Structure formats: C-alpha cells, structure tokens
Amino acid sequence: MAEDFVIEMQHITKEFPGIKANDDITLQLRRGEVHALLGENGAGKSTLMSVLFGLYQPEKGIIKKDGKEVRIKDPNDANDLGIGMVHQHFKLVECFSVLDNIMLGVEPCKGGFLQKDVARKKVVALSEKYGLRVDPDALVSEISVGMQQRVEILKMLYRDNEILIFDEPTAVLTPQEIEELMEIMRGFKKEGKSILFITHKLNEIMEVADRCTVLRKGKGIGTVNIADTTKEELSRMMVGRDVQFEVEKVPAKPGEVVLDIQDMVVPSKVHKNNAVKGVSFQVRQGEIVCLAGIEGNGQTELIYGLTGLEKITGGKVLFQGKDITHATIRERSKSGMSHIPEDRHKHGLVLDYTLEKNMVLQRYWEPEFQHNGFIRRDAVRRYSDRLIREYDVRSSQGSETIVRGMSGGNQQKAIIAREIDRDPKLLVAVQPTRGLDVGAIENVHKQIVAQRDAGKAVLLVSLELDEVMNLSDRILVMYEGEIVGEFDPRTTTVQELGLYMAGAKKQQGVQ
Amino acid sequence: MLLLIKYTLLYGIVLMLVALGGMFSEHSGVINIALEGIMVIGGLAGVLVVAALPAGTSPAILVALAILVAAAAGMVYALLLAFASIHLKADQTVGGTALNMLATAIAIILAKNFNGSTSAKISYTNKAFLFNIGGLELSVFIPLGLVLLIVSYVVMYKTRFGLRLRACGEHPQAANSVGISVYTMRYCGVLISGLLGGIGGLAYVIPSVQTWNFEVGVAGTGFLALAVMIFGQWKPINIFGAAMFFAVFKSLANIADSTILAQLGWSNNIYNMMPFIASMVILAFTSKNSMAPKAEGIPYDKSSR
C-alpha cells in the first residue's frame, strides 16, 4: 500500500430497524485532499459519517487511521484522532455565546474554573488566520446562519482537527456564502488538512473536490477522480440512470385568471417596515409564475399572506373570482389552494405523527375518512398507502413511520404527494426542491410541470436561478417587498435577473 | 418590623434553596416536579436525627449531622426521579408527581413508626439551629443559604461543570457531539437538586416550631419554589430576589394581626394571595422572554435525530 491514506473505512455495515443504511461501504481518504461523498437522500451518507465520528457503532467493518486500526466509540475518540465534523443541523447552544460554544467540551480550565481569556485568544487567532469572521461574544441565537457555520468550523479548528467532515454545508447558505466556504475549504487543503464533503450538489463537487465516492441506497458505487469525470456521469452513478437537468415542457397555454393579488401589504416580523409593500400580480390556469429574489425580500411574507398564515394589512386576494382576503386557512385549502411550504418542519408536517396521519391532515374530516367523528383508519391507511406507492415516498415502516425519522427528501415527497393529490386549482410551491438531490429535484420538477399541463395555476417561489429559468413561464423578481420586474425566461438571462434581484435595476410601471 | 425581617429571611431562604435545586435540575434538562416530595423526605430525615440524638449532643455536631442527613436523604430520593426520567426515559412530570405522593405517605409511616403511635407528629428542640443578632433570632440556614447561593452562582457560570450542565439542558445533541455525557450531567443536576431540596425541607420544618405533623408534608412549599424558580428565570441571583419577594408577602400574613396593618382589617388570605397575584401579572408580561432551558422535560435519546 503505497498510498497515503489518512482515513480508511473498510466494509462498513450499519443497520437500523427495517433498513440497511450502510451495506459494505469502503471509503479511503487521502491526506490533504477534498473528498466528496455523493448520494441521494437516504443513501447513507450521513450514517457513514456518523459512524466515522463515533455517533453510531457499525455492525461490521473496520476504520483505520494512518494505516492503524482504531475503535471510535464516541465523539471524544473521534476528536482524539483529529476528526471533526460540521453537522448538517448545527450543534450549537443558542443561548450561549460564540466563545462558549467553541470551547464547550474542551474548555481551558484551572481547578475546574473556566479560563475564558485563554480560549478567546486562541479563537481570535484562528479566526484571523483563516478569515473566519465571528464575534466571540455574540449569542448564537443572534447571528446569521453563515456565521453559525463559521462557528462550527472554528469548533473543529479549535480542537486542532486534521480531518474535517462537512455534512451538507451549503444547503443553508446564500450563493455568496457558498463561494466563501469553497475558498475556506481550499485554504484548509493548502494547510494539509483532509476534507470529507457530503453533498448532493454536483456543481460544488466539480468546483472544489479532488475525488468523489458515490453511494446509492446504502451501497458504495465507486470512487472517481473529479478531473476524469463529468456531472452527467456522477449523477448517473448516484441515481442509477440518466438524469435530465433541463425540464422538458411544451409552451404554456395560459387560461383564465385563477389568482389575482391586488396591492397586498404584509407587515414584517423582524423590522418595523412592511415586508410586502403593495404587490399586485395574477396567475392564470396552465402557467407557472415564479417569484425570484434573494432570500428575505418579502417572498416568505407574501406567501404567508396568500395562504392565510399571516393577516394582510392592505390589499385584496381574489381566488377564482372570489374575495378570500379574510378567509381562514381551511377555507382556502377547501376552495382548491395547495401549499408546499418553505419550512416543511414548521408548516408542512407534524413530525411526531405517523406518515398516514400527515397524509390526511387537511382531509381527515371528509366523509371519506371519518364516520360520526371517528377516523376511518382503514380508509386512511388505504389512501396513505396509495400516495406512498404513486409518489415513491421511501420510509422504513411505510404508513406507520414516524415522520421525524424520515430523510428530508422523503418528507418533502410526502408533502408534495399530499398537496398535488388533492387536485388543487392553484399550487403554491415555495422552494420545493430545497435540500433535495438531483434525482428528487427532477421528479419534483416533472410533477410541477405536469400540474401546469393539467391546467392548474402554479405559483413557484425559488432562490435557485437554475430552477427559476428552467421551470417558469413568467418570472417576477422581488426586491425589498416590491416586484421590480417581469421577465420571459426565453428572452432573459441569469445575469439580467441578478441585476434586478440585487436592486441595481428596476422596470418602470410593472406595479 | 424585626418580626417581618425574621419571617421573610426564614421563609425566603427555604424557597431560595429549593428553587436553586430546581434550577440545577432543569438546567440539566430534567423538570423536577418532585421538589415537594424531596423536601418532605429531607425534612423528615433531618428531624428524625435531631429527635433521636441524645440530649447532651453538642449543638455543632447536631446541626451538622442533621443537615448532612437531610441532604443525603434528599439526594437518595432524587435518585429515584433521575433513574426514572434519565434511565427509563419516563415522563418527568408523571414521575415527579408520583414521587410527591409517595413522599408524604413514606413520611407518615416512618413518623408513626418512630413515635410508636398513630400520630405523625414529631417533637424536637430547635435551639441548636438558632442564634441571635441584635435581638433578631435567625437560623443557621440563613448564612448557609447565602453561602450556597454564591456557590451556586459560581458553579453555574464560572466552572466547566456549569457550562456543560447548561449545555445539556439547552441542546443535549450538541453537548453529546462534543463528547459530553448527557446522562452523567443530568444525574448530577438531579442529585444537586436533591441535595438542596433536602436541606430546604429541613430549613422549612425546623426553625419555626418545635413539633411537626408530617401529615401536612411541607404544605406546597416545593411547588412555590418552582414558581420562584420560573419567576427568577432560572438564574441564581434572580431566584434569590424572587424568593424574598414571595417571602415578604407570606410574612405579612403572619404578622398582619399584630401590627398597624391590622387596622386595615384585611383578611390574612389577601396577604397570602398577593405574591401569587403579583407573580401571575409579572409572568403574564414576561413569559414571552422565558429563559427556560430549551430541552427540559425531553428525555435524551442518543439515536434520535
């Protein structure tokens, strides 16, 4: 073995009740490389990394560090071996300061008393050396997601970790923050640190990784050099078939107006100004209208106002010609409005319910599912089983699975199945592909286009410009609570949209 | 006036001790409803020591022994809660309530056994626990309580133990991911609450009277301490203030008859109600910014996401 592997995971098998999360997977990490770990949701990436980090014990297989076999029983062992991890969901104590979070677990102490000054010096030095801007005294609950991630990275550096695991680090970041992170990762590589980078975004792998190991359904498919491969090949390895990046669709045939929003005003929760400042637009049958914009420009609040999650303080909402400005959420839902929410944990699912209960959340009171106030469980089960089958929702125990334990992609599939199957007149889809892998994204896009072709009106909110350009028939750009431009995706460019999204340009008379 | 100060200090220190106990438990992530029961057990154990020791025992030894036994008994009883809620992942509220009911029952049986009769009243002398400063009769629990308050503050905010304990109550997954044993820290938190609760129980029973009927337990003081803890926003210094606030009103009720307040002709009940009404009003306005540990009440399971 001439190669210099800093970590070798050989033939790792890890089972959970009802599912083999890792099945004989081998992963070899060279010293000083960026090694991507690619796979669909539920392919076993996070499980494999949790095994390496000591959070799970594998049933079979061994782990070698610098060629010597090691046992990693808990995160302390991993830390002693120089392995650090930035978790997908940050492991930060919100009411602690940045400094407290970084030193937690390895606090410098004198007789049990904390020596914060010592820790602070080290943190400040590290943050300057690597350009990781943080304020050591700020509370974690008060800093941006991007800075929280820098805190997580500093946690690893503070522990002098040489092997850095990033679990889907870009899912929560803005494009600028992603660019910054890529730069930081390159810096680590120069320092001789080895990086394991879990992701399902092919562009990022092509940009920053040296090699890539692909997992599919718990099995290792292979390891490739990025220099010798293409996006298409990687996605084929990941999904097991060819993936279309472009959505095929015929030109839209817009029909009658389904949704007519007039001068909508919605107040903001974070600041005193209005988040939506008198927005008007229409959505017709058989077209996909996309609201594009940088996060935090009022899209969220506009959707809240439209779906009834928030009261609007001005303007009107007409739905199929009826004024629903003051209608309740259930009335809107009953009259044919479906909503794939931005935050699926908060507004999409009851996480501690079973999958089948979640499937009938908006319908359990219909005669089909209840009799004299009692739930007809057989009917619910049949319905849920059908949706699971038709929309390929994967889970360990089918209809009886507790939703919290499902992967994010499958949670999203469940919501989409529920919302589309209600045969809505209007489908409101807010970032429907957030956190999904290419296979699942393709699927979601197809579903949305199919809805359009079936004559439904679709209002899409997306932050991904690729998705905006690909999917929509009309693009509305939102900036600071106003619509600053309307575009036809066939005649505009990403660059032009970017100028409007950043507020550098504004069309006259769109409002 | 002296009487008011005396009662306020006596009662306030009890509330503070027990609330501090609750604070340690909740910062580790375990809701300790069982404080009432822990007080009963601690008080009983301490009183039995005082009553059982021969009359000639030196006061210092008597006091030290009674307090140590009360603390130890509180810890043993708290261990039951810890085992149920940490090890068995039981519902912490249900477990705590069960322990509360059990405590009074145990106390009655043991007290009757000790007396060899059907009465659960135990008589004792409390001279050793009391001392005078300028005509103000105080109990040893007051200086002890103040020391424990300072120690609690230092432990909570200045030591590694405190930082880790609070992490376990806020975000156990985060604590675990940096190698902290959540189970161990939670056991520590609950045990400390047993220690302080046990001492608090003794401090409640001993100083004011020379005989105690264990059929009444500690008359809801443990629950009051929980209110004090919430009112004090789970912070030691605030808890001290909240405890004194409650105690002032409670003491007003005690002395109202013998002072000028009697001329108002108010019922005792009004004074007794005051702290509760005031705290309800204050909590109604401040509860939005509640500083409750985020993960309290949720059994920690390593494998959950």
Outline where B133-267 has alpha helix (H): 141-158, 160-170, 172-177, 182-205, 221-231, 236-255
Residues 6+ apart with CB under 8 A from A505: A484, A485, A499
With 60 as the cut, is the pLDDT of residue B304 above it?
Answer: no
- Are the C-beta atoms of residues A328 and A309 closer than 8 Å to each other? no
Chain A residues touching residue B291 (CB < 8 angstroms): 95
Nearest to A104 among B158, B161, B167 (CB): B167
- Are the C-beta atoms of residues B29 and B182 closer than 8 Å to each other? yes
Strands A34-39 and A194-199: what pairing?
parallel
Cross-strand bridge partners of residue A261: A281, A317
Q: Tens of pLDDT along A14-41?
A: 988 777 889 999 999 999 999 999 987 7
Contact with chain B for residue A79, Cβ under 8 A: yes
Q: Does B174 contact A76 at a Cβ distance shorter than 8 Å?
A: no
- What gap in Å lies between CA A339 and CA A333, rounded to an integer? 8
Contact with chain A for residue B158, Cβ under 8 A: yes
- The string of DSSP letters for A142-175 reads GS-HHHHHHHHHHHHHHTT-SEEEEESTTTT--H
Q: For residue B261, what pLDDT is reported?
A: 67
Q: Tens of pLDDT along A238-275?
A: 888 776 667 778 888 889 999 999 999 999 876 778 88
What ipTM did this prediction achieve? 0.88
With 70 as the cut, is the pLDDT of residue A165 above it?
Answer: yes
Least Cα distance to B272 among B245, B258, B254 occurs for B254
Name the most confidently modeled range: A330-334, A461-465, B74-78: B74-78
pLDDT-derived band at B174, boundaries 50, 70, 90: very high
Residue range A5-239 forms a domain whose CATH class is alpha beta
Q: Tens of pLDDT along A303-318?
A: 999 999 989 999 999 9
Q: What are phi and psi of A402, to 5 degrees?
A: -75, 130
- Are the C-beta atoms of residues B8 and B176 closer than 8 Å to each other? no
Q: Which residue of B has its CA nearest to A75?
A: B179
pLDDT-derived band at A385, boundaries 50, 70, 90: very high
Cross-strand bridge partners of residue A12: A25
pLDDT-derived band at A143, boundaries 50, 70, 90: confident
Contact with chain B for residue A75, Cβ under 8 A: yes
DSSP at A96? S
Q: Does A91 contact B304 at a Cβ distance shorter than 8 Å?
A: no
Contact with chain B for residue A139, Cβ under 8 A: no
- Are the C-beta atoms of residues B171 and B294 closer than 8 Å to each other? yes
With 70 as the cut, is the pLDDT of residue B298 above it?
Answer: yes
As a whole number, mean pLDDT of residues B71-91 equals 94
Q: How many CB pairs under 8 A join A and B?
A: 72
- What gap in Å lies between CA A26 and CA B74, rounded to an integer? 53
- What gap in Å lies between CA A305 and CA A282, rounded to an integer? 15
User: Residue ranges of the domains in chain B?
Assistant: 2-289
Q: Does A155 contact B178 at a Cβ distance shorter than 8 Å?
A: yes
Nearest to A87 among B166, B170, B177 (CB): B177
Q: Does A93 contact B171 at a Cβ distance shorter than 8 Å?
A: yes
Residue range B2-289 forms a domain whose CATH class is mainly alpha
User: Residue ranges of the domains in chain A?
Assistant: 5-239, 349-409
Contact with chain A for residue B178, Cβ under 8 A: yes
Q: For residue B57, what pLDDT is reported?
A: 85
- Report field, pTM of the whole predicted structure over 0.80: no
Q: What is the nearest CA distance from A207 to chain B, expressed in angstroms?
A: 30
Strands A426-430 and A314-319: what pairing?
unpaired
Contact with chain B for residue A104, Cβ under 8 A: yes
Q: Does A93 contact B166 at a Cβ distance shorter than 8 Å?
A: yes
Contact with chain A for residue B288, Cβ under 8 A: no
Contact with chain A for residue B174, Cβ under 8 A: yes
Q: Does B167 contact A106 at a Cβ distance shorter than 8 Å?
A: no
Contact with chain B for residue A74, Cβ under 8 A: yes
Q: For residue A312, what pLDDT is reported?
A: 92
Query: What percent of chain B stands above pLDDT 70?
Result: 95
- What gap in Å lies between CA A203 and CA A212, rounded to an integer? 13
Q: For residue B204, what pLDDT is reported?
A: 94
* Longest CA pairwise span in chain A (Å): 75
- Are the C-beta atoms of residues B150 and B16 closer than 8 Å to each other? no
Q: Does A55 contact B177 at a Cβ distance shorter than 8 Å?
A: yes
Q: A19 in helix, strand or coil?
A: strand
Q: Tens of pLDDT along A453-485?
A: 999 999 999 888 888 888 999 999 998 899 999
Q: A281 in helix, strand or coil?
A: strand
Read off the tokens for A105: 């677990």
**Higher pLDDT residue, B277 or B156?**
B156
